[in-house]
Chain A
Amino acid sequence: MTSKAKIHLDRVAKTYPGSKVPAVDELTLDILEGEILVLVGPSGCGKSTTLRLINRMIEPSGGRIMLDGEDVTKANPDKLRRRIGYVIQQIGLFPHQTIAQNIGTVPKMLGWDKKKIAARADELLATVGLDPEQYRDRFPKELSGGQAQRVGVARALGADPDIMLMDEPFGAIDPITRDRLQNEFLRLQEELHKTIVFVTHDIDEAIKMGDRIAILGERSTIRQYDTPERILAYPVDDFVNDFIGTGSTIKGLNFQQVSSLTLPDYPAIRPEDSADVARGKLDAAGEEWLVLLDDAGHPQRWLSTDDVAAGPSTYGEKGEEVGDTLNQDDTLFTALEHMVQSAAGKSCVVDESGRFAGVVEMAHLNKAIRRAQYEAQRHYEEMERA
Chain B
Amino acid sequence: MSDTQTLERDDAPAAGVPEPDDAPKRVRRSPGEVINSLSLVIAPVLIAGLGVLVFVYYRSLDLENAPTQQRSALDWSDRLQPQITQHLTIAFWSSLLTIVIAIPIGVMLTRPGLRKIAPGVLAVANSGQALPAYGLLVIGITVGGQGQRTAIVALAIYALLPVLRNTMVGLEGVDRNLLEAGKGMGMTRLQVLGRIELPLAVPVIIAGVRTAVVLTIGMAALAALIGGGGLGITIFSGIKLNQTPVLLIGAAIVILIALVFDYAGALAERFLKPRGL
Which of A's residues lie within 8 Å of B, judged by CB?
Answer: 55, 57, 78-83, 86, 88, 90-98, 105-106, 109, 134, 138-148, 155-156, 158, 165, 171-174, 176-177, 180
Contact = CB atoms under 8 A, between A and B. Distances in A.
Interface of B: 10, 12-13, 15-25, 27, 175, 177-178, 180-188, 191, 195-196, 199-200, 274-277
Interface of B is mostly: loop
B47 to A, nearest CB: 31
Nearest to B17: A174
Contact of B21 (A92, A98, A134, A146): A146
Given A140-B10, A180-B21, 19 more contacts: A57-B180, A78-B186, A78-B187, A82-B185, A88-B181, A93-B181, A94-B195, A95-B200, A95-B277, A106-B186, A141-B10, A141-B276, A141-B277, A143-B24, A144-B22, A173-B15, A174-B15, A174-B17, A177-B19
A82 B186 contact: yes
Contact of B18 (A95, A142, A174): A174
Q: Which 3 pairs across A and B sit closest by C-beta, in order of nearness?
A: A92-B181, A139-B276, A82-B186
B274 to A, nearest CB: 4
B24 A142 contact: yes
- Greatest chain A CB density within 10 A among B17, B23, B183 is at B183
Contacts of B180: 57, 88, 90, 92
Nearest to A77: B186
Contacts of A158: 185
Given A57-B180, A88-B180, A96 B15 contact: no
A144 B187 contact: no
A172 B276 contact: no
Contacts of A134: 24
Given A81-B184, A86-B185, A96-B274, A144 B177 contact: no
A67 to B, nearest CB: 14
B145 to A, nearest CB: 46
A344 to B, nearest CB: 38
A81 B177 contact: no
A172 B15 contact: yes
Contacts of A94: 178, 181-182, 195-196
Contact of A91 (B22, B181, B182, B276): B181
Contact of B183 (A81, A95, A156): A81
Nearest to B191: A109
Contacts of A93: 181
Contacts of A147: 21-22, 25
A145 B185 contact: no
Nearest to A89: B177
Contacts of B18: 174, 176-177
A96 B277 contact: yes
- Greatest chain B CB density within 10 A among A83, A98, A106, A142 is at A142
A15 B157 CA distance: 44
A139 B25 contact: no
A81 B186 contact: yes
Contact of B25 (A81, A92, A143, A155): A143
A177 B23 CA distance: 12
B177 A88 contact: yes
Given A79-B186, A88-B180, A172 B24 contact: no
A173 B21 CA distance: 10
A134 B187 CA distance: 28
Nearest to A158: B185
22 contacts: A57-B180, A78-B186, A82-B185, A90-B180, A92-B175, A94-B178, A94-B196, A95-B10, A95-B178, A95-B277, A96-B199, A96-B277, A98-B276, A106-B186, A141-B10, A142-B27, A143-B24, A145-B21, A147-B25, A158-B185, A177-B19, A180-B21
A230 to B, nearest CB: 32
B276 A146 contact: no
Contacts of B195: 94
B187 A109 contact: yes
Contacts of B188: 78
Contacts of B20: 144
Nearest to B21: A146
- Greatest chain B CB density within 10 A among A55, A138, A158, A174 is at A174
